[in-house]
Structure 1
Amino acid sequence: MAAKNALNITRQVKPLVSSTPLDARIRVLSLYKAWYRHIPYMVKDFDIPPSVNECRDVLRRNFKKNAHVKDIRVIDMLVIKGQQDLKEVVNHWKQPNHIMAKWFSDEYIEERPKDFISKFLSGHE
């Protein structure tokens, strides 16, 4: 009896935005296109070191990283987060260091000096 009630509860869960997988796919592709179109402006406005092509490669990798997700609710959640990030970048609510940390975690960050002389000469400690 308890298992029957559990099945009814899971069936009552409604999708966040998309009602079908095709609808979710359309939302994902429109988010990808919006990011793809805004990348040249982002690179110019924030004056970040990577080129437009490098940023587009990172965008493609980030979307392919989540390509295995099939649950419509999870897809909707990821799309909403992506739209929020895009809005923050478009409205300049993010700073260049936020963009670099999220997109290029270790590629462009300079390694800190380890020995005493290097720390002293670079002004650390």
Structure 2
Amino acid sequence: MASQAVRKSIKEVKPILSLNREEARKRVLNLYKAWYRQLPYIVKNYDIPRTVEQCKTKLREEFTKFDEIKDVRLIDMLVIKGQMELKEVVNVWKQKSHIMAYFKDTIEPKPKDFLSKFLNGKE
């Protein structure tokens, strides 16, 4: 009786796009290739102060950020977001500042001790 209740309560999750990890992997690779092909046009259209090679390394960095994700549904959601982002960039619906936000340097922590504040001109 209890096992029947458990079986009824367990719900099978529907896939978003991919049925298995291999199919999700193919979708990610296709998205990566689409971005890779568009990079020269993005650099030219947006006139960003970066070379195509710098953009390629940044693209690789952005994709490898999510290497550890194993859930197929989450991978599909990220692929969908990546496709929407690509469409916005290719159609020039974004501005130059949106593209340059990917190249933003890390923010340095604020100085906490007196000497560091003094040297930075904060106090």
Same fold (TM over 0.5): yes
Aligned to 1:110: none
Partner AA of 2:10 in structure 1 = N
Aligned to 2:69: 69
SS at match of 2:10: helix
Stretches of structure 2 that go unaligned for 5 or more consecutive residues are 107-119
Stretches of structure 1 that go unaligned for 5 or more consecutive residues are 108-113, 116-125
Aligned-partner Cα distance in 1 for 2:85–2:30: 14
Aligned to 1:25: 25
Partner AA of 1:47 in structure 2 = D
Question: What aligned pairs does 1:6-45 form with structure 2 within 5 A after superposition?
Answer: 8-9=10-11, 12-45=12-45
1:106 Cα offset (Å): 2.1
**Structure whose CA Rg is larger:** 2
The two structures have a TM-score, normalised by structure 1, of 0.78
1:20 Cα offset (Å): 1.0
Aligned to 1:54: 54
SS at match of 2:44: helix
Aligned-partner Cα distance in 2 for 1:49–1:5: 58
1:32 Cα offset (Å): 0.2
**Structure 1 ranges of 4+ moved more than 4 A:** none
Could you say if the C-alpha distance between residues 4 and 29 of structure 1 is closer, same or farther in structure 2, counting changes exceeding 3 Å?
Answer: same
Aligned to 2:84: 84
**Matched pairs, number:** 107
> Identity, % of aligned pairs?
54
Partner AA of 1:4 in structure 2 = V
Aligned to 1:4: 6
Spell out, residue by residue over 1:83-120, the C-alpha distance to the aligned partner (whole angstroms, 9 max, x if none): 0000000111000101111x11227xxxxxx86xxxxx
Could you say if the C-alpha distance between residues 64 and 7 of structure 1 is closer, same or farther in structure 2, counting changes exceeding 3 Å?
Answer: farther
